[in-house]
Chain A
């Protein structure tokens, strides 16, 4: 059965490459890139450890294994689509025991280009411990570490899958992602401060993990090698045993998660309500544009993935506030900058990109329903833009008010609304054109937080980067005018700047809308084919 699952994973990879040109190009590039990163990391790891004293090197290797393990188990779920990953739920009806399934998934977990990174690191790690017995212990510890990498990753994936399947799954996922993001940021800041203060070798000795080795699975395994190198064979064997116990505990957790994963339905229906609650027709506004905008706004609140996009502002806000509170001295200068509220539109525009650049991708399979209706392309776009613009404007103002409170830049705040509207106009102008030329398919996948079809991954990244650049270019003129006003006093009248900026935004938006509406009118069947998953 293990062989079958390994074969299946391999076939999924190969068939994916065969079926799609982007993937055929992307996979070798990614493999080469990952291998290069793996060699670079392993080289840096080996040389840094080699330059330290034995004691410091031991502590350093414990830290490295902990950080790499955490990155390995979390990053794939948080950053990348996982459609090649074997979803355990698909084996619910197969006559496979959970033990077989877990063994198969573990072995299949090795069939991925990214495995190069831990393998190279672990090989370098074994090379750091000279002497046959010590190297043997490092090798055994390395094997345990590799298993912890794979099993830890699978367990975390299973946990996120379970969270995502619950009714409030994606909201919980936002909390998980936000927490991990903030935790990672705080960890990075703490490490950077400690390394800046004590140097790398000093920092790892001040913040010693060897005191906590038993509490952290990868550290316990690595401690077995470190203790063996120090001649503490008793502790080495104990660390190995504790590491093995950790592995069993993780496997046991994975087993329990799998049990729930293969038997729990994806969602449970709500009970029917007897009375029709007030709906679209019971409220004001009955034109196609208003109704489309209203539908979009309802989806911003109800669609967990869209909700996640908009709550992304909270993450950014958290990071900005955390940066200001615990950041370096240079960052504390920013805290007092009176232009700080003007950052609001920039941050929110960045957050709104996934929606603004993919207005029709979010329709997913319902696109065939929408496009079978007699809605004119221009009205559809304006309705959608109205919703996106409203959400962006509200988020911008909220963020800018908080930034004004942090920086005391209340005087700058009145300039935010015109700047925000200009930026929104420029963003939607570019967004509308990209939305109709290169819509992205957004499949529903159980284990994917930010799911988009992998074959369109490169397209998404390129489209977002180019668009962000173009939006930035379009904003150069108005943004420069605002900077002149804020930084150089009253050289320019703020009212004139605001009016000119709004006019600029309106012109750019109108041009973008005109182009996008003409293209959309001619491309409806292609749009349906591009965004539908069936």
Chain B
């Protein structure tokens, strides 16, 4: 079997328990090459835990996951060479400068030095981080850190990219640039697994959506299928149908009633 005949990203019976709590409950995934896959769910649904298990940062209680023909838990280094990760808590080296972090990442990925320098320059320019390239990351704003973490995730041009809330805190201009960059990326055959709470973005970017609720993957469909299946005007409405949105109902009348 060739590497291309396998799904780009896969998971089989992924389970993760924290004590008695089941955070991820038997998730099966199969994401093809060039897909822009949106993993959605309310807070605590298990999205981040699932991504962490696929990329090798959290050991599954049961099941396994991988990239192409590789198993994350048997061939961790080979998997990590093929992925880029923008985690939800993008914990970067605070005491490196932005440029140093990108160089460090390139060197670990064994990029030739000349390529590393060129890619670093282009990414910093694209993400409007050039002026801050020699500042310590500790001095970066949240949005700047997000953009830098994204640059670090793509600098080695991985065939698979995992993005957890990539647009959080990013200004509108940069967000538009990043959107373009990611769409171009998938158009060239890369796979993106994307988690976000911004439904408008999900609807615009994703070619397929998986919704998790209480650790289970309850539905997988294209945005169009999702809207049709629930007779909804938007992915957001369909999503709310799936997860069972609450309403304000009775109570809380006191909120905003106090004077002074």
Q: Which chain A residues have a beta carbon within 8 Å of chain B's beta carbons?
A: 267, 269-270, 272-277, 279-282, 286-288, 290-292, 295, 298-299, 302-303, 364-369, 371-376, 521, 524-526, 528-529, 532, 534
CB contacts (< 8 Å) of B94 on chain A: these are 366
Which residues of B in the span 71-86 have a Cβ within 8 Å of any Cβ on A?
76-78, 80-81, 83, 85
Partner of B100, one of A269, A292, A298, A372: A298
Task: Name the B residues within 8 Å of A270 (CB-CB).
Answer: 135-136, 139
Q: Smallest CB-CB separation from A304: which chain B residue?
A: B95
14 extra interchain contacts, Cβ-Cβ under 8 A, other than A279-B100, A291-B103, A521-B76?
A267-B138, A269-B139, A273-B132, A275-B134, A276-B124, A277-B99, A279-B134, A281-B107, A281-B117, A295-B93, A303-B95, A372-B83, A373-B108, A534-B91
Q: Bound complex: CA of A524 vs CA of B72, how far in Å?
A: 12
* Chain B interface bracket (under 10, 10 to 19, 20 to 34, 35 or more): 35 or more
**Given A270-B135, A276-B99, A374-B81, A281 and B93 contact (CB-CB distance below 8 Å):** no
Instruction: List A contacts of B109 (CB < 8 A).
Output: 373-374
Q: In whole angstroms, what is the CA distance A521 to B93 when docked? A: 22
Contact of B59 among A279, A302, A526 (CB under 8 A): A526
Take A276-B130, A281-B113, A286-B113 as given contacts and tell me if A372 and B80 are in contact as well, using a CB distance cutoff of 8 Å.
Answer: yes
Chain B positions within 8 Å of A295 at CB level:
93, 96, 100, 104
Known A-B contacts A369-B93, A372-B87; A274 and B59 likewise in contact (beta carbons under 8 Å): no
CA separation between A279 and B94, bound complex, in Å?
Answer: 15
24 contacts between A and B (CB under 8 A): A269-B135, A272-B135, A276-B134, A279-B97, A286-B107, A287-B107, A292-B108, A295-B100, A298-B96, A302-B136, A365-B91, A366-B92, A367-B91, A369-B90, A369-B92, A369-B152, A372-B56, A373-B105, A373-B108, A374-B108, A521-B76, A525-B58, A528-B58, A529-B58
Q: Is the CB–CB distance between B133 and A276 below 8 Å?
A: yes
User: Complex Cα distance A279/B135, Å?
Assistant: 11
How long is the Cα–Cα vector from A374 to B109 in the complex, in angstroms? 6
Residue-wise, chain B 28-60 has the 8 Å CB interface mask toward A (1 for contact) of 000000000000000000000000000111110
Cβ of B106 under 8 Å from chain A: yes
In angstroms, Cα B85 to Cα A371, docked, is: 11
Give me the interface of B with A, judged by CB distance under 8 Å.
Answer: 55-59, 76-78, 80-81, 83, 85, 87, 89-97, 99-100, 103-110, 113, 116-117, 120-121, 124, 130-136, 138-139, 152
B194 to chain A, nearest CB (A): 17
**What is the distance, in angstroms, from B86's C-beta to the closest C-beta of chain A?**
10
How far, in whole Å, are A526 and B108 apart by their CA atoms in the complex?
21
Of the candidates A277, A279, A288, the one having the most CB atoms from chain B within 10 angstroms of its own CB is A279
A303 to B117, CA, bound (A): 25
Q: B139 contacts A525, CB within 8 Å? A: no
Whether the pair A372, B55 counts as a contact (CB closer than 8 A) is yes
Q: Are A365 and B100 CB-contacts (below 8 A) given A276-B130, A288-B108, A303-B95?
A: no
> Quick one: given A281-B116, A281-B120, A288-B107, are A373 and B131 in contact (CB under 8 Å)?
no
Known: A281-B117, A295-B96, A373-B105. A288 touches B110 (CB 8 A): yes
Q: Pick the contact of B132: A272, A279, A290 (CB < 8 A).
A: A272
Measured in the bound complex, the distance between the Cα atoms of B81 and A298 in whole Å is 25
Asked if residues B80 and A374 are in contact (CB atoms below 8 Å), the reply is yes
A280 touches B107 (CB 8 A): yes
Given known A274-B131, A298-B96, A368-B91, contact A524–B56 (CB-CB < 8 A):
yes
Known: A368-B87, A369-B92, A374-B80. A282 touches B117 (CB 8 A): yes
> How far apart are B193's CB and chain A's nearest CB, in angstroms?
14
Shortest CB–CB separation between residue B80 and chain A, in angstroms? 4
- B107–A528 contact, CB under 8 A? no
* From B59, B91, B121, residue with most partner A Cβ within 10 Å: B91
Q: Name the A residues within 8 Å of B121 (CB-CB).
A: 276
A-chain residues with CB within 8 Å of residue B55 when the two chains form the complex: 372
- Which listed residue (B80, B87, B107, B131) contacts A273, Cβ 8 A? B131
The CA of A299 and the CA of B136, in the complex, are separated in Å by 11
Q: Which 6 A-B pairs have the closest CB atoms?
A: A365-B91, A280-B103, A291-B107, A374-B80, A302-B95, A281-B103
How far, in Å, is B72 (CB) from chain A's closest CB? 10
The interface centre, meaning the residue of A365, A367, A525 with most chain B CB atoms within 10 A of its CB, is A525
- Which residues of chain B have C-beta atoms less than 8 A from A373's C-beta? 80, 105, 108-109
Chain B residues within 8 Å of A274, by CB: 131
A342–B106 alpha-carbon span in the complex (Å): 42
Nearest to B129 among chain A residues (CB) is: A272
- When chains A and B are docked, how far (Å) is the Cα of A290 from the Cα of B107? 9
> Chain B residue with minimal CB distance to A444?
B94
Q: Which residues of B contact A299 (CB under 8 A)?
A: 93, 95
Chain B residues within 8 Å of A267, by CB: 138-139
Smallest CB–CB gap between A57 and chain B, Å? 55
